[in-house]
Amino acid sequence: MYPALPPLLLLSATRAGTGALVSPLALAAPVYAQPAFWAALALVAGGLSVALYLLGREQQRAREQELQARVEERTRALQAALATMAESEQSMRQLIDRLPSAVTVYVDDRAVYANDAALRLMGYERFEDLQGRSMFTHAAPEERALSEARLARLQVGESLPVREGRVARADGTQATAELTAVRLHFGGRPAVVSVARDITESRALESRLRLSDRLASVGTLAAGVAHEINNPLAYVLANQRYVAEELERLLQDPALPAAHALGLRELLDALHDAQEGAGRVQHIVQDLKTFGRSEEERSGPLDVRPLVESALSLCRNELRHRARLSKELEAVPQVVGNAARLGQVFVNLLVNAAQAIQKGSVEENEVRVRTRTDARGWAVVEVQDTGAGIAPQDLPSIFDPFFTTKPVGVGTGLGLSICHSIVRAAGGDIAVQSEVGVGTTFRVELPPAAPARPAQAPAAASPAPAAAAVQGARVLIVDDEPLVARAVRRVLQGAHAVETATSAREALARLEAGERFDLLLCDVMMPEMSGQQLWEALGKSFPEQQAQVVFVTGGAFTPEARAFLERVPVRVLSKPLDPAALRELAEERARLRAARAARPASGQA
C-alpha cells in the first residue's frame, strides 16, 4: 500500500553502563502485509464503487427525467402549435367556403376543391359532381381559346388582370362573372386557384335599368312625336272638314247641273276616304299620347274599355302574324287609376300573349280579350292565349322582379312585376292560370270607383224668352303654326270675326294696342313665349282677357306644362280640333258677351 517506504532495519545495542546486550525488538508483520488489510481494503473499494455507480445512476436518471420533461414540454408546444394551425386552417377553410366569390382549386387541371359560391356559379349541389373536372369544362365555348391563352400566361409567371366573361353552367345556361386566377401550392403540389365573382344579376339589373331609361325616353319621345304630328294633322283635318262641308253645301244647290254634281260627289267621296285615313292617324297619335304620359299623372275615375281598345290598337301588328284576335268587351264599372299605367298593364299582357305564340300559325291560335263585371261588382279584364304555356315550377315566380322565361334579348324580367305593382296600387289584383301546351290566361281585377253622388234636379225655371239674334264673337287664334291658325279661321269665319297671331308676343301687342276679344284660342307649347307665360302676363296686365283664354294643345309633353294645365281653371281643347265644338264654343262666348251687354239695360228697367 506504501511502496515508496524502505524496508525496516532493526539493530541490536548494549545498555549503557551495564554492558548488557540489548536484543533486537520482536515486531509483527506490516499491516499491508496482512490478508485482513487487503480484505478490508477490497470491501471499502467495492463500497465506493457501488456508491459511485449508484450516484452515476441517479445523476443519469435525473438527466433523463430533465430531458424527458423538456421533450414533453416541446411536444406539448408542438401539439398546441399544430392544434392552432389546424384551427386556423379550419377557420380559413370555413371562411373560403363562405366567401361570396367563387374559389376553385385545380391540380394538374383537375378540380380538387370548390367553395359553395363556386358550386352555385357552376350549377352543382355537391362538390363530388365537380371533382376531377377540367378547368375548361365551364368556360363558355366562345371564350375557351381566350381562357387557354390566359392560363398559358399564368404558367410562365404573369399575373392575370380581372376580366368579365361567361361561365357555362351545368344546366346549359350561362352566367356572367368577373374572372381571374393565381398560382400557389395546395397540399404540397403546384395548383391553379380560379377566383370568380358572379355578376349575372347586377349586369341584368344594369341592362334593365338601361332599358327602363330607354322606355322613359321613348315615352317622352312618343309624347313629342304626338305633339309634332298633331299640329299638321290639325289643319289637315280642319281643312278636309271645311272642304267637305263646302262640297256638301254645293251639292244641295238645286241649280247645280247633274254632271257637275256627279263630279263633286266623286270629289266628296275621295275627301271622305282622306278623312278616314287622317282619322286613323289621329287615333294612333291619341294612343301614343296615352302611353307616353308621365307616371306622375294623378289617378282618377276612368273607363277601362277605351284603354283596352288603345292597347289592342298598339299591339295589333304584334298579334296579326301570330294569332286571331277575339274581343268580348262588355261594359264595366269605372275604376280609379292612372290611364297610362293601366294601359301599360294591358299592352304588356297583350305583348306577352303574342310572344307566347310562334309566328306563322295564325289560324291555329287565338288571343281572346274580355272585359266583364264579376259578382263583387269589380271590373275584370282577361287576356287569354293558346301559346306554349308556363311550366308549373315557374308559376310561383312569374311576378317576381327579374324573373323571365324568355330568351336573352326578348324578356326583361320586369314587365309582369311592374304590372303586378300597378294593379295592386290601384287596389286590384292580377292572377294567372296556365297549362303547358294549352295556353295562359291573365286576369286583372279592379275595384269600382266610388259612385258619384246623385245630382239634385234643378228647380223648374220659367221658359226663357226667345233670344234675339246675337252678333258673332271676336276670336283671336294664337298659334306658332300659321297653317293651324288659318284652318281654324276657315271654320269660324263668316259667323265670327277671327284674327290670328303667330306668337304670344304678337297677341300681347294687339291687346296693348286696345283690341279686345271674346275668345282667345291659345296654343300651349310655343317658342320664345309659351301659352303659360302669356296666361300669366294677361293676369297681370289684362285680367279680363285672361278669363277669355281657352288653351289648344297637340300634347303637353313636359311635366311643367301638364302641371300647369292641371292647376289653372282653364278649358283645354286637344288638336286636331272638332269644327262643331269650335263653332259651339265661339257661339257660347258671343252669347256671354251679349248677356253682359244686356245687364245694365235690364237694371234700369
Query: Model confidence over 341-353: pLDDT tens digits?
Result: 888 889 889 988 9
Partners of 107 in the β-ladder: 110
pLDDT at 571 over 50: yes
pLDDT higher for 91 or 54? 54
pLDDT at 604 over 50: no
Q: Is 514 exposed, middle or buried (0-12, 13-18, 19+ CB in 10 A)?
A: exposed
SS (H, E, C) 285-327: HHHHHHHCCCCCCCCEEECHHHHHHHHHHHHHHHHHCCCEEEE
Q: Most distant CA pair in the chain: distance in Å?
A: 224
- Residue 543 phi, psi (nearest 5): -60, -30
How far apart CA 566 and CA 532 sit, in angstroms, is 12
Residue 126: per-residue pLDDT:
92
Query: Which amino acid, residue 205?
Result: L
Question: Mean pLDDT throughout 504-516?
Answer: 94
DSSP structural state of residue 493 = B
Structure confidence by residue, pLDDT tens digits, 228-237: 787 788 888 8
Q: Which residue has the cell 309582369?
A: 416
Q: For residue 492, what is its C-alpha cell?
A: 269660324
Domain 99-198 has CATH 3.40.50.880: no
How far apart CA 403 and CA 461 sit, in angstroms, is 64
Nearest CA to 501 out of 520, 518, 516 is that of: 520
How far apart CA 585 and CA 520 sit, in angstroms, is 11
Residue 413: per-residue pLDDT:
47
With a pLDDT cut of 90, the percent of the chain lying above it is 32
Q: What percentage of the chain's residues is helix, strand, coil (to nearest 5)?
A: 50, 20, 30
pLDDT tier, 385 (very low <50, low <70, confident <90, very high otherwise): very high
How far apart CA 329 and CA 369 sit, in angstroms, is 7
Helix axes 200-251, 482-492, angle to 10 degrees: 40
Instruction: State whether residue 12 is helix, strand or coil.
Output: coil
For the residues of 369-391, what is the DSSP string, one character each? EEEEE-TTS-EEEEEEE-SS---
Residue 162: per-residue pLDDT:
92
Question: Mean pLDDT throughout 290-298?
Answer: 52
Positive or negative, the CA dihedral 363, 365, 371, 375 is positive
pLDDT at 213 over 80: no
Residue 369: per-residue pLDDT:
95
Domain ranges of the chain: 42-98, 99-198, 206-446, 474-604
Mean pLDDT computed over every residue of the chain: 81
With a pLDDT cut of 70, the percent of the chain lying above it is 81
What residues contact 270, with CB distance under 8 A and at least 6 apart? none
pLDDT tier, 464 (very low <50, low <70, confident <90, very high otherwise): very low
pLDDT tier, 74 (very low <50, low <70, confident <90, very high otherwise): confident
Residue 383: per-residue pLDDT:
95
Structure confidence by residue, pLDDT tens digits, 109-141: 999 999 999 999 999 999 999 999 998 999 999
Structure confidence by residue, pLDDT tens digits, 481-507: 888 888 889 889 888 999 999 999 999
Question: Mean pLDDT throughout 205-214?
Answer: 73
Q: What is the DSSP pairing of strand 379-385 with strand 110-114?
A: unpaired
Structure confidence by residue, pLDDT tens digits, 75-102: 888 887 777 766 666 666 666 777 888 9
What residues contact 496, with CB distance under 8 A and at least 6 apart? 472, 473, 474, 475, 586, 590
pLDDT at 334 over 60: yes
Contact assessment for residue 251 and residue 268, using Cβ atoms and an 8 Å cutoff: yes
Nearest CA to 335 out of 272, 252, 422 is that of: 422
Query: Which amino acid, residue 70?
Result: R
* Stretch among 167-181, 265-279, 429-443, 521-535 having the lowest mean pLDDT: 265-279
pLDDT tier, 295 (very low <50, low <70, confident <90, very high otherwise): very low
Nearest CA to 106 out of 181, 197, 198 is that of: 181
Residue 54: per-residue pLDDT:
80
Residue 595: per-residue pLDDT:
86
pLDDT at 377 over 80: yes
CA 202, chain centre distance (Å): 10
Residue 130: per-residue pLDDT:
92
Domain 474-604 has CATH 3.40.50.2300: yes
Candidate ranges 204-208, 416-420, 550-554; pick with highest mean pLDDT: 550-554
Q: Is 310 exposed, middle or buried (0-12, 13-18, 19+ CB in 10 A)?
A: buried
Residue 458: per-residue pLDDT:
43
Residue 327: per-residue pLDDT:
92
Contact assessment for residue 318 and residue 356, using Cβ atoms and an 8 Å cutoff: no
Residue 469: per-residue pLDDT:
53
Q: For residue 454, what is its C-alpha cell?
A: 246623385
Residue 588: per-residue pLDDT:
92
pLDDT at 223 over 90: no
Go through 224-261 and write b for each residue having 16 or more CB atoms within 10 A of its CB, e for each that does not.
bbbbebbbbbbbbbbebbbbbeebeeeeeeeeeeeeee
Partners of 475 in the β-ladder: 498, 519
Question: Mean pLDDT throughout 448-468?
Answer: 50
Q: Where are the beta strands (DSSP E) in 374-458?
A: 379-385, 429-435, 439-446
- The domain 206-446 is placed in CATH, from the list 3.40.640.10, 3.30.565.10, 3.20.20.60, 3.90.1640.20, at 3.30.565.10
Quickly count helices (H) and strands (E) in the chain. 14, 19
Contact assessment for residue 573 and residue 550, using Cβ atoms and an 8 Å cutoff: yes
Residue 282: per-residue pLDDT:
76
How far apart CA 577 and CA 369 sit, in angstroms, is 32
Structure confidence by residue, pLDDT tens digits, 182-199: 998 887 889 999 999 999
Residue 18: per-residue pLDDT:
55
Residue 317: per-residue pLDDT:
82
